[in-house]
Amino acid sequence: GGGGCPLLLRFAFPDWAYKPESSPGSRQIQLWHFILELLQKEEYQGVIAWQGDYGEFVIKDPDEVARLWGIRKCKPHMNYDKLSRALRYYYNKRILHKTKGKRFTYKFNFSKVVLVNYPLLEVGSAPFLLAPCPGGAHGPDCPPLTPEVLLGGREMGGGGG
């Protein structure tokens, strides 16, 4: 099954990043997942990279990031104006905020350094993959890599509450 969109990209990311598009309340990969994917890969250092404070990153080539995002979502008319609008929707969700005074610079609201030794992730240049798990990547104290863990126990989808 599945739509006919891009099959070119399969990153080492866990299942929650790829919920089936047809299931209720689910969608394709979210923009902030995609941003993390790019940040994780050294080949995109010239396009987007960690820079400055912890969790802070700069979009060095806005047009290129928008182009890549457009490819992923099959939106050939994607541009930075539209991509950045989607990023701004993350402000109220507390996923991102803008670093004021720094051009094209945003910051993830990571609450803690909790991402550790995850077997599916290339550690690479990500500054939040630092603390080792007490019992190793599969130990009892090593949290699973979920959006809640990533952003600090926040519920990502609405629902009752």
Give the shortest CB-31-to-DNA separation in angstroms: 4
Q: Rule CB under 7 A: is residue 91 a binding residue for DNA?
A: yes
Q: Is 30 in the site for DNA (CB under 7 A)?
A: yes
Structure tokens at 7: 């099959």
Interface mask (CB under 7 A) for DNA, residues 6-25, using x and -? -------------------x
Least distance to DNA, CB of residue 129, Å: 22
Interaction of residue 105 with DNA, rule CB under 7 A = yes
Tell me the DSSP string of 19-87: --TTSTT--S--HHHHHHHHHH-GGGTTTEEE-SSTTEEEES-HHHHHHHHHHHHT-TT--HHHHHHHH
The distance of closest approach from Cβ of residue 90 to DNA in the complex, given in angstroms and rounded to an integer, is 6
